[in-house]
């Protein structure tokens, strides 16, 4: 699929509509700055408040602007297996290169249920599937043995790991084939997860520092581990501020500071509080981003 830094790209809004021109400009920014993959309609893309018609619009635009230069991976997860199957088939039909499928939220499926859910989705498509484990949001954790079983399905090829549990990620690495990819889902754990045999990151921070996130990844992949760690530490405070309120509230504020998009989110999300914005703005100035 990809190695290095893929961006969990925001969905910009203008009034009640998708800001397609702003979205295109963001994609061009990533094409110019070494981002290795576009991940659209994930958590950062506010997929839960995007209509079906808007989903189609977003995927079509991403595929068209990316132009095959980097893969477009679409968030197609749902807490309904049938809906996830339909979203995944639609993404394939629209020209996506892969699907990122979050664990079913609210239902709190058992491990047996997760295996059934993901296997049905994978069998419905030729797209490569990336599992997405983010128990803080979904209320369910994919256990390492479950990941290992799912890795036996031909087109389930990777996991985005946002559990924050390094011991669990090590156990996943111990159990899965070497070809199975592990991506960090936490920007403050890119280098730790690389050290556990990871392959990169699906990053929120890459929305504003795409080149720097890829440089961090490349340094590690090239064996320059100290340099990679230095970059992880350099941006640690910025990353902390990008999660000072729930994602994507801070990163949209940051992109607004960079004059890319308006600082608009869909309810129930609200704009970053002024005190937190000042902290984020100050660190962005320190890092010469604005």
CB crowding 81-99: b at 16 or more within 10 Å, else e:
beebbbbbbbbbebebbbb
Query: Which contiguous run of DSSP H or E holds residue 180?
Result: none
| 3-state SS class at 183 | strand
Cα(75)–Cα(181) distance, rounded to whole angstroms? 17
- Which residue spans within 20-81 are E strands per DSSP? 37-40, 72-75
118 catalytic residue (yes or no): no
Instruction: Classify residue 242 by burial, with Cβ atoms within 10 Å: 0-12, 13-18, 19+.
Output: buried
| 3-state SS class at 14 | strand
Q: Which of 160, 173, 181, 218 is catalytic?
A: 160
DSSP 52: H
Q: Which of 118, 132, 194, 235 is catalytic?
A: 132
For residue 17, give every residue at least 6 positions away whose Cβ sits within 8 Å of its Cβ, in sequence order, or none: none
Query: Which contiguous run of DSSP H or E holds residue 246?
Result: none
160 catalytic residue (yes or no): yes
User: Catalytic site residues?
Assistant: 132, 160
């Amino acid at each position: 699929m990809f190695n290095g830094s893929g961006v969990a790209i925001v969905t910009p809004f203008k009034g009640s509509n998708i800001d397609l021109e702003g979205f295109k400009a963001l994609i061009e920014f990533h094409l110019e700055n070494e981002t290795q993959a576009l991940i659209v309609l994930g958590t950062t893309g506010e997929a839960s408040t995007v209509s079906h018609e808007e989903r189609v619009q977003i995927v079509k635009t991403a595929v068209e602007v990316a132009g095959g230069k980097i893969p477009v991976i679409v968030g197609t997860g749902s807490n309904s297996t049938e809906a996830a199957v339909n979203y995944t088939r639609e993404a394939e039909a629209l020209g996506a290169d892969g699907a990122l499928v979050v664990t079913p939220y609210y239902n709190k499926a058992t491990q047996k249920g997760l295996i059934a859910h993901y296997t049905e989705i994978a069998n419905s498509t030729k797209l490569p599937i990336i599992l997405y484990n983010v128990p803080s949001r979904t209320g369910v954790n994919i256990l390492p043995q479950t990941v290992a079983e799912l890795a036996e399905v031909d087109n389930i090829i990777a996991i985005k790991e946002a559990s924050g549990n390094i011991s669990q990620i090590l156990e996943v690495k111990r159990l899965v084939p070497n070809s199975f990819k592990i991506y960090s889902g936490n920007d403050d754990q890119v280098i730790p997860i690389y050290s556990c045999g990871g392959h990169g990151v699906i990053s929120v921070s890459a929305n504003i520092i795409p080149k720097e996130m890829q440089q961090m990844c490349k340094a590690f992949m090239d064996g320059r581990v100290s340099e990679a760690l230095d970059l992880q530490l350099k941006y640690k405070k910025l990353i902390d501020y990008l999660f000072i309120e729930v994602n994507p509230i801070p990163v949209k504020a940051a992109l607004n500071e960079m004059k890319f998009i308006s600082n608009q989110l869909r309810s129930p999300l609200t704009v970053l509080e002024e005190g937190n914005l000042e902290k984020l703005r100050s660190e962005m100035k320190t890092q010469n981003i604005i």
